[in-house]
Structure 1
Amino acid sequence: MKTNMSVIGVPMDLGQNRRGVDMGPSALRYAGVIETLQRLKYNVNDLGDIPISRPDNKESRQEDNLRNLHQVAEANQKLAEMAEQEIAKNRFPLILGGDHSIAIGSLAGIAKHYKNLGVIWYDAHGDLNCAETSPSGNIHGMPLAVSLGIGHEKLTNILDYQPKIKPENIVIVGARSLDPEERELIREKGIKVFTMHEIDRMGMTNVMTETIDYLQENTDGVHLSLDLDGLDPEEAPGVGTPVLGGLSYRESHLAMEMLAESKIITSAEFVEVNPILDDKNKTATLAVGLVGSLFGEKLK
């Protein structure tokens, strides 16, 4: 991995309807993410937070069955431009969320620099909905679909190109809450998925070995998009959409350690930390521990 790193905070909570996740970047910094990276000998440039505009009371919050479409698209455009600039400087972009809708901008900016960007989607959810299939209109349930070119053009056309990624270059890890339409899209597109059932049967070592081998063969870079709700709520209570039966603390550290050893990760984001729903910043502290493992720290 590159030793020069740029940290970008995206205090976004408009991709869903629970307040608090906009404080995720601050919680991660408070938990010591910058100090952890510096201790691991990375040259860290913290670029601060991208400003997020909010809808006023007169402005419609729902457009084409999409919550806060204009503001989410605007913020992701800013993030895409910033991520693209940092990669052009040969720096590793580490993005702190915010809700998972920010992956739209992350992937738009990062994929500009790769012919076959791989994606590890570490998440309880597939995030493969669109306006027509979403029961809520929450854009944080759509970023993977948007990155495949499926969805509203204000989202799919960020940086004026689409799709950002190819379905055969995606691996979803930890899925346990998939809508019927998402399951159908996964089958149709041939997206590789390791559900919790498969992780339980195979073990995390085999899952990550298959994931790494699969992506090494076909991609020229790999983006890790880690949603803290991929972990079990007992481990990570401070998330907006918890789902029981998730990944453990130890499984997740093992996954990050194996990715560190593989040296395939070229960009990353950690999202959906919600301090309001947390217990003494437990989830942010756990997330910082995972960041440490991803960048070479070993559990004692």
Structure 2
Amino acid sequence: MQKEKQRKPISIVGVPMDLGADRRGVDMGPSAIRYASLQEKLTSLGYDVEDLGNLQVPTPESYDVGQQQLKYLREVHAVSEELAQTLDRVVAAGRFPLILGGDHSIAIGTIAGVARHHRQMGLIWFDAHGDLNTAETTPSGNIHGMPLAVSLGYGHPDLVHIGGYAPKIRPENIVIIGARQLDEGERKLIREQGIRVFTMHDIDRLGMGNVMEETLQIVTDGTDGVHLSLDLDGLDPNDAPGVGTPVAGGITYRESHLALELLAEADILTSAEFVEVNPILDTGNRTAKVAVALIGSVFGEKVL
């Protein structure tokens, strides 16, 4: 039974989004990950894989930035709506959605699409940042710092109500892993909402095995599905240098694999996304190769 679940067919969706971030290049992330032999990796693990290609995303040069506290709001909204509709169809067809970014603002559309089918969805947010800002708290105006807040129902109505419903997730069903750079407004929201956050201090002190044990308990408690949103900047920049907002002192390559191997063993994931690979800032496509290796662990690859 478990083996059949693990072999659920996979649909890959690329979202070459860089409107949510300040640094160009992350729009090439989906291509970089594909070039690092993603489909071959999944096929070798025995999966039926279809690649639905990339969504059309406007280029920043063609549009006005709009509000400084919500840069490219209209364009991010449009892409998020299209992504939500695409993933709604993927899940309805009985396939596992694997989304490639692009900056982390794509999680707004991803979660809107998959949570329609999992109204009590658990969420693992693997990231150096909280992404819990709003227009009122953001230091940059970049929407890639807002998707988790939006999914909880906080932020601009155009973003909060993508997919026609809000909120998409509940704070008690969320775990953030790897946080080491949080803004004051994010800290406040975390405390108010009681969101479980494992900072790098916690990971160092407890070990990744214990962190994942508690994470799995939280995201499966009363939930009907689990989404993984993995930002490559959650890893230490020594292991994943090609990201737009690197923060020193991150999760190691091996700790990341352990986390995802334990996740695969638990067999609870219903969707996953990998974001913020920026090949312009990378060396020899190293970060995309790391992403593909981690995806292998998510889908059950083992040494022995």
Q: Same fold (TM over 0.5)?
A: yes
2:222 maps to 1:218: yes
Shift of 1:153: 1.1
Report the TM-score, using the length of structure 2 for normalisation: 0.96
Which of the numbers 45, 54, 59 marks the counterpart of 1:54?
Answer: 59
Asked whether the equivalents of residues 55 and 71 of structure 1 are also in contact (C-alpha less than 8 Å), the reply is: no
Which of the numbers 129, 140, 161 marks the counterpart of 1:136?
Answer: 140
Q: Which residue of 2 aligns with 1:156?
A: 160
Supply the AA of the counterpart residue of 1:26: S
Q: Which residue of 2 aligns with 1:247?
A: 251
Which of the numbers 14, 39, 43 marks the counterpart of 2:44?
Answer: 39
Identity over aligned residues, as a percent? 63
Tell me the distance in 2 between the aligned counterparts of 1:56 and 1:92: 34
Tell me the distance in 2 between the aligned counterparts of 1:16 and 1:240: 8
Cα-to-partner distance string for 1:161-189 (whole Å, 9 max, x where unaligned): 10011111100000000111101100100
2:284 maps to 1:289: no
Tell me the distance in 2 between the aligned counterparts of 1:142 and 1:299: 37
Supply the AA of the counterpart residue of 1:96: L
> Is 22-31 or 151-160 further displaced after alignment?
151-160
Shift of 1:64: 6.0
Shift of 1:299: 3.6
Supply the AA of the counterpart residue of 2:273: E
Q: Secondary structure at the match of 1:66?
A: coil
Q: Which residue of 1 aligns with 2:15?
A: 10
Which of the numbers 65, 77, 81 marks the counterpart of 2:81?
Answer: 77
Show structure 1 runs of 5+ residues with no match.
none
2:207 maps to 1:203: yes
Tell me the distance in 1 between the aligned counterparts of 2:199 and 2:250: 10
How many pairs were matched up?
299
Q: Secondary structure at the match of 2:17?
A: coil
Aligned alpha-carbon RMSD (Å): 1.1
2:273 maps to 1:258: no
Q: Secondary structure at the match of 1:287?
A: helix
Q: Which residue of 1 aligns with 2:3?
A: none
Asked whether the equivalents of residues 174 and 218 of structure 2 are also in contact (C-alpha less than 8 Å), the reply is: no
2:279 maps to 1:275: yes
Show structure 2 runs of 5+ residues with no match.
1-5
Asked whether the equivalents of residues 7 and 46 of structure 2 are also in contact (C-alpha less than 8 Å), the reply is: no
Tell me the distance in 2 between the aligned counterparts of 1:39 and 1:30: 16
Which of the numbers 120, 123, 132 marks the counterpart of 1:119?
Answer: 123
Asked whether the equivalents of residues 54 and 71 of structure 1 are also in contact (C-alpha less than 8 Å), the reply is: no
2:111 maps to 1:107: yes
Q: Which residue of 2 aligns with 1:21?
A: 26
